[in-house]
Structure 1
């Protein structure tokens, strides 16, 4: 190889590296510019006390030995009369990679008028980590049954978002006798009765198939390197902010940057290993045959029309199995509906509670 040829190749390599570096720098600059523009918008929620609402804290040790963090909020009668009926309780079940804090707006709206029970699902929030084998939707249903037995003295209404809705479906499958007398109504937000492995995630069909094909192995690999990955996740980043905004809130231009940061902080607090442990359970979830149990009680179903994680078709399938249910498809709304459209969700919950309290 001549000296001239070597110099030419070195020059080409240098140009390629330079171009690649310029591309990375340009992408980073574009990312910072995008995040900067978003954060410069008026933020009506900047002073909202996210994560600061607290109730009476309890720990429930489940039948398989896991410690669940539970909080009871709202008015509590100190010395109820012997002939006084127990109050109606609203039980909130949060979604995948979130915590009880995701119900901030609903808790804030209802805590003055209703007794509330909020809990962190196993391996989430302040509840104890469980092994991969113990991270199943059926086990979550059993956990919910034990929460109800321990902290709900009278009738209750169940509210579930995403995986929390699946938890309620698992409860219906495994403990159907609770629905009707104990459980008086159900609200299902942005959830699915099954076939999550068929989601397009807003991607073209061909690309979606590729993503689903490689996702299980990729998630498993990430789980095995969870502690290393978590060290980088804990710092937070502009990329995490943009991903949370896009996946959790769609392309809404009205969502508060503070709300996005709040949601991202919950997701970031969920260990990578936990994300990997629950992933197979979510993909294999199938409770369509158990939905008929919910038909015994008033059921409200809410979904955003731009939800890519649990699309409207999944809520419509639930509604088709529950002829008496009320389905609300919220325009210009994505997956984190209780944070993106709290007013609509709160109104729907109050309407549901009125139906029970009549």
Structure 2
């Protein structure tokens, strides 16, 4: 080997070595950061998150999907509360609401199609309208009397689709609605906290990227399983408004639900979320007590979207929670539960009044 060749090999080896050392150092720093976060005192460490269970059942849909559901609380309760979870989550995301309401109300919690324990349907059925029809069938099968619907994020959109496609249920069967960290449309215009030009660029390339990755979902899922420390740090900063004080146990809990959702499912539902537009259907909800709850640091369904819904629903009660982001039912469960109890009381008496509240932290 000539001296020139040896120098080239040496330089290449040094570059590869430096790159490898950099990757290793970054991985070590990431593990150190996550480790330090998890070593902090955690008041939630003894809370059995996601372990509450009810009477397990399934609901067969008109297109042949067996949706997983659980019924909890007293069967003779005069009011049933139906919980509709968000995108990439499952029914366990309602842990704190279930824990605090199960003694007083009959609860129905269900996994939306392709999420949690509900099986994957065809890509063509991954639409918000189909989720609205699913909810109608869940109500028909599992709700014997009057009910209140609670929807977070995509679950709120599911409720809006139900209003659009089955308006006759509202006022008679459905006595109240809670819309939590959700939107009636125009998610494709959300800035994601980025400068305008960068936000437009992200929205332009994201659909194609998500679709491409979705076609290689199994490979992507392997990487997601290996990279959960990175996912922990990202979710801690984006899913919660106060990342320095949020419980690492709660972050792990939310991250595990997201990670358990196959990327193929994420890719299939993404276009439906971006094209969602049910502002016109909101008038149906004005016949029942409605509560709109949002964190003022929600980057995915910003507070402006909740204010637009409140403007379309003049009798609704809007609660804006300071220092809180998209996973508000996990980050500020006491505030959310207080708002739900107030809604349930209003639904029981069929009274509603317009107001806007800024919740205390």
Global fold match (TM > 0.5): yes
Q: How far does the alpha carbon of each residue in 1:78-133 deviate from its partner, in whole angstroms, 9 at most, with x for none?
A: xxxxxxxx721100000000000000000000000000111000001111211110
Q: Displacement of 1:236 after TM fit?
A: 5.7
Shift in CA distance, 199/148, structure 1 to aligned 2, threshold 3 Å: same
Match of 2:107 in 1: 116
Matched, 1:191 2:182: yes
Matched, 1:102 2:93: yes
The CA distance in 2 between the partners of 1:34 and 1:128, in whole Å, is 36
The CA distance in 2 between the partners of 1:311 and 1:344, in whole Å, is 18
- Alignment check: 8 A CA contact 2:207 2:271 kept: yes
Q: For 1:7-22, what aligned pairs fall within 5 Å after superposition?
A: 9-10=8-9, 12-22=11-21
Q: For 1:16-95, what aligned pairs fall within 5 Å after superposition?
A: 16-77=15-76, 87-95=78-86
**Stretch of structure 1 that moved more, 317-326 or 232-241:** 232-241
- Alignment check: 8 A CA contact 1:252 1:332 kept: no
Q: Displacement of 1:203 after TM fit?
A: 2.1
Matched, 1:312 2:311: no
Q: Displacement of 1:8 after TM fit?
A: 5.6
The CA distance in 1 between the partners of 2:311 and 2:3, in whole Å, is 73
Q: Displacement of 1:34 after TM fit?
A: 1.6
- Alignment check: 8 A CA contact 1:236 1:268 kept: no
Match of 1:246 in 2: 237
1:163 to 154, 159, 175: 154
The CA distance in 2 between the partners of 1:34 and 1:333, in whole Å, is 23
Task: Provide the alpha-carbon RMSD of the alignment.
Answer: 1.8
The CA distance in 2 between the partners of 1:209 and 1:342, in whole Å, is 34
Q: Displacement of 1:198 after TM fit?
A: 1.2
Match of 1:303 in 2: 294
Equivalent pairs, count: 349
The CA distance in 1 between the partners of 2:118 and 2:51, in whole Å, is 18
The CA distance in 2 between the partners of 1:94 and 1:223, in whole Å, is 22
The CA distance in 1 between the partners of 2:198 and 2:8, in whole Å, is 35
Match of 1:83 in 2: none
Structure 1's unaligned 5+ residue stretches are: 78-85
Q: Displacement of 1:15 after TM fit?
A: 4.5
Q: Secondary structure at the match of 1:249?
A: coil
Q: Displacement of 1:57 after TM fit?
A: 1.0
Q: Secondary structure at the match of 2:239?
A: helix
Q: How far does the alpha carbon of each residue in 1:153-187 deviate from its partner, in whole angstroms, 9 at most, with x for none?
A: 11110000000000000001111111111111110
Q: Displacement of 1:237 after TM fit?
A: 2.2
Q: For 1:134-153, what aligned pairs fall within 5 Å after superposition?
A: 134-153=125-144
Q: Secondary structure at the match of 1:306?
A: coil
The CA distance in 2 between the partners of 1:332 and 1:250, in whole Å, is 5
- Alignment check: 8 A CA contact 2:175 2:348 kept: no
1:342 to 329, 333, 352: 333
The CA distance in 2 between the partners of 1:231 and 1:15, in whole Å, is 30
Q: Displacement of 1:40 after TM fit?
A: 1.3
**Stretch of structure 1 that moved more, 145-154 or 340-349:** 145-154
- Alignment check: 8 A CA contact 2:293 2:318 kept: yes
Q: Displacement of 1:134 after TM fit?
A: 0.5
Match of 1:227 in 2: 218
The CA distance in 2 between the partners of 1:160 and 1:105, in whole Å, is 14
Q: Secondary structure at the match of 1:63?
A: coil
1:130 to 121, 128, 134: 121
Match of 2:354 in 1: none
TM-score of the superposed pair, with normalisation by structure 1: 0.93
Structure 2's unaligned 5+ residue stretches are: 350-361
